[in-house]
Structure 1
């Protein structure tokens, strides 16, 4: 988090600023109506602001899309984006950022573990001049000890080895100024780790603390496999430390071998350790080769199947990727 407060607001003009809320959804049929009610109640009370809510259906298999289209048909401030399949949480958030037209854009999950009521405080900080307002978790109710412990360890490990400052105990619940959104939308990486990318941009940042709540309904879609994938993406995207592991291991091994040989006054058999050492080194190199392979292919991080505009009218989209008029605003 930056310690330097900005002197002036970056985006909002003389008129009423537009606040966009981006909500990625994957199989959230059980909670989506309640989520929209709470979001709408908060956004209607924002002083001197217009608002829109951009829901991104990340390939849901239940009735989420039907519920969303029903909301769009009754609320002119709702916009929908439907991806062709489940691309994952980070691509879904990126899709919403590129679609959003707001002077400020809030990203929040659909499961109501992050309280929408905090958005009013975020907007107040933004209007005071902060381009990035992040919600920092002080507690995680309703989550297993394993998940809370691994999250605690991962964020501190990432902060320790990252090449640039990264937030600790933060997710994707944050407010971003239009200037920040525009920067993120133009980044060429196929595998963005948005939490780290926001910090990488270097825009001044402040934070609000809150306690994360249990889910009111449904179940988490973040399996152990998805958590491991997000951790891998964050580590590779934010830190060059894993790339230096081979050199560290190699030098340590050579030093240890030399010292042991000197003490014993005879060479040690290298075959006892060579295979395991090579396997570890090749595994680390393989992760980076895989990342390079995905980037070189140049595939977009997501594909849009359908867009629905204000009032529920279908907007012809076909298989569309990349930026829209909103992201270039």
Structure 2
């Protein structure tokens, strides 16, 4: 009997957990030829999320949980869950029920046919503003054009990953993570499933536009150096035009004796060039900051509790141990 882990990152999701569990329980009971594990990752919730998960575990031995020592963010919560998931396949599912768990049987069917990464692509997105939809679509189009890997457009984290995909992701230990790009980067045999995304079943979204902007910057800086090249090209073009303009000014003065005037235009050029320089420095700073964070080599996360036991964090303190553990398996 194959084991399937359902990985659910959760941050302040008390309002939706009961409905989520009921829908998952119905699906798991109908698929008796698999052994299921539901692995909740409590990402430092400040409400009763952890207490509800513990209550589920007392009722159902298929429930496991990780309680992170603080809020590390969804990207880190997912890699923590992948480190601890026991399944031959792992299904990543958000707790808010915008992604319907009823797609799980179809994912498992394609997995049995030999696909390694079965991902759900949104055909429509209910409960979201037109501005959010437009910015998301624009971002993915831009990222696809400037990246050297095929980025999956209009997809999230809702997918089934075979164990070898999970092992590949576990080997990528960078601290600033853009997992949606990593799914494409590792490759393997992929299958798309279309679905209509529902609004949140309960509670409020934890994502605001600032968080989405930070995620977009992570995506761009993680998978392309195009902004660096663009700033270099832009600087070169401006330098060429500035050199030609300088020759024209000098020639005009020597040939016709015209006095050099134009204080407003001079200030405009200076401010424009200053803005370009600051923008280029900012782009370089983004990449340099990533290098700085990676060189510190801090653990990605710390676990406060795993299945009713306080954790000593040996697994998180030594990333080499994590890699060697799953390679040996």
TM-score, normalised to structure 1, is: 0.89
- Equivalence for 1:253: 238
- Equivalence for 2:208: 223
DSSP-derived class of the 1:154 partner: helix
Q: 2:199 aligns with which of 204, 214, 217?
A: 214
8 Å CA contact 1:245–1:281 kept in 2: the answer is: no
Q: Which has the higher helix share?
A: 2
1:201 & 1:289 partners in 2: Cα distance?
A: 25
Q: What's the offset of the Cα at 1:260?
A: 4.5
Matches within 5 A, 1:1-329: 16-46=1-31, 48-261=33-246, 269=266, 271-308=270-307, 314-320=308-314, 321=316, 323=322, 327=326, 329=329
RMSD: 2.0
Structure 1 pair 165–221 and aligned structure 2 pair: CA distance change class (3 A): same
- Residue by residue over 1:291-325, the C-alpha shift from the partner in whole angstroms, topping out at 9 and shown as x without a partner, is 001000011222111101xxxxx234134525399
- Equivalence for 1:9: none
2:302 & 2:310 partners in 1: Cα distance?
A: 14
8 Å CA contact 1:31–1:218 kept in 2: the answer is: yes
2:29 & 2:244 partners in 1: Cα distance?
A: 70
User: What stretches of structure 1 move > 2 A for 4+ residues in a row?
Assistant: 255-274, 322-329
8 Å CA contact 2:127–2:198 kept in 1: the answer is: yes
8 Å CA contact 2:40–2:64 kept in 1: the answer is: yes
Could you say which structure has the greater relative contact order, defined with CA pairs below 8 angstroms and 6 or more residues apart?
A: 1
Structure 1 pair 100–126 and aligned structure 2 pair: CA distance change class (3 A): same
- Residue by residue over 1:63-86, the C-alpha shift from the partner in whole angstroms, topping out at 9 and shown as x without a partner, is 100001100111100000001111
TM-score, normalised to structure 2, is: 0.89
2:271 & 2:72 partners in 1: Cα distance?
A: 43
- Residue by residue over 1:180-209, the C-alpha shift from the partner in whole angstroms, topping out at 9 and shown as x without a partner, is 101111113112211111111111111101
2:325 & 2:49 partners in 1: Cα distance?
A: 24
For structure 1, the residue ranges without an aligned partner over 5 or more in a row are 1-15, 309-313
- Equivalence for 1:10: none
After superposing the two structures, state which structure 1 stretch, 269-278 or 64-73, moved more: 269-278
If you compute each CA radius of gyration, which structure gives the higher value, 1 or 2? 2
> Across the two proteins, how many residue pairs are aligned to each other?
309
